[in-house]
Amino acid sequence: MYKHLVITDFDGTLTEKVVNGQKVPGLMSVLMSEPGIDKNCLVEYEELFNKYHPYEQSTNLTLVQKQGFMLKWWLEVYSVLKKYKVTETMIMKSCDSPLLQLRSGVKEFFDQCKNSDISVIIFSANGIGYNTIEYILKKNDISLTNVRICANTLYFEANGQYTSTKQPIIHSANKIGETLIKNDFIAPDQDDTECILIGDNIDDLKMSEGINFKSVTNVGFGDTLSSDFTEMFDLVLPIEAGFEKISELVSVRV
């Protein structure tokens, strides 16, 4: 009998990618659209997106080069949050946006993992990760006893203003298994453990990279007709699907 572990992405994986026909942006973009946020904050955030997103997509950079650009990107975004005096209240308020909906069956899936003693690691490179992910899960009555969150934690002054981010900063280029090892979420040798990895992006497959699991079953929410997805993931679920099929998969394993 092997142990089981779930490693899952957050944005677009635990949450819906499309709500009422509208594509849902990442949490940081939802925050930037909050009415309380200075318009120039959004302008500067978008300028940084346009500057750094091409590096994120580039296939010509080495991993080290990409990590350098992605770190710089988040550091500059954090300076913008500070410059425009973004507060914890604004950030938490953005979590109540109607665009942020958990997929159907997510709560039941977490209950199932808890009842079956399966640990869950939520791995997110989202800029306002830890605080908001914890808030959204608790709001949906999800118990976090068997759940750990590897994501950016923000710190605030007594007056609520953002001050700094816990190191190391998680960005899209270090959202890899090695980061989970370095930050003591997991040891590299897991040959008695079967991992179920869940994501909505090809790069999410790297969340188990560098960890020696007995096996990894990759589940992706994406285009079921795209060979990119069908060749890389063991199970591809439609973009609008819920977690029911993943719960079935776990039931037969444990």
Chain residues that interact with Mg ion, rule: CB under 5 A: 9, 11-12, 200
CB of 244 closer than 8 Å to CB of 105: yes
Minimum separation from the CB atom of position 16 to Mg ion (A):
11
With respect to Mg ion, which residue has the nearer C-beta, 84 or 110? Answer: 110
Minimum separation from the CB atom of position 85 to Mg ion (A):
28
Q: How far apart are CA 203 and CA 59, in angstroms?
A: 12
Q: How far apart are CA 181 and CA 214, in angstroms?
A: 16
With respect to Mg ion, which residue has the nearer C-beta, 123 or 162? Answer: 123
Minimum separation from the CB atom of position 172 to Mg ion (A):
10
β-partners of residue 221 are 237
The long-range contacts involving 208-216, CB below 8 angstroms and separated by at least 24 positions, are: 208/7, 208/177, 209/176, 209/177, 209/178, 210/176, 210/177, 210/178, 210/181, 211/177, 211/180, 211/181, 211/186, 212/188, 213/5, 214/2, 214/190
Within 68-211, strands assigned E span 119-123, 147-150, 154-156, 162-165, 189-199
Minimum separation from the CB atom of position 158 to Mg ion (A):
33
Minimum separation from the CB atom of position 49 to Mg ion (A):
16
With respect to Mg ion, which residue has the nearer C-beta, 189 or 209? Answer: 209
Angle at 202 between CA 131 and CA 103, to 5 degrees: 50
With respect to Mg ion, which residue has the nearer C-beta, 12 or 177? Answer: 12
Helix (H, G, I), strand (E, B) or coil at 119: strand
Minimum separation from the CB atom of position 193 to Mg ion (A):
23
With respect to Mg ion, which residue has the nearer C-beta, 41 or 121? Answer: 121
Q: How far apart are CA 238 and CA 84, in angstroms?
A: 39
Chain residue at closest Cβ approach to Mg ion: 12
Expressed in percent and rounded to 5, the helix, strand and coil fractions of the chain are 40, 20, 40
Amino acid at 159: N
CB of 158 closer than 8 Å to CB of 138: no
With respect to Mg ion, which residue has the nearer C-beta, 41 or 246? Answer: 246
With respect to Mg ion, which residue has the nearer C-beta, 16 or 200? Answer: 200
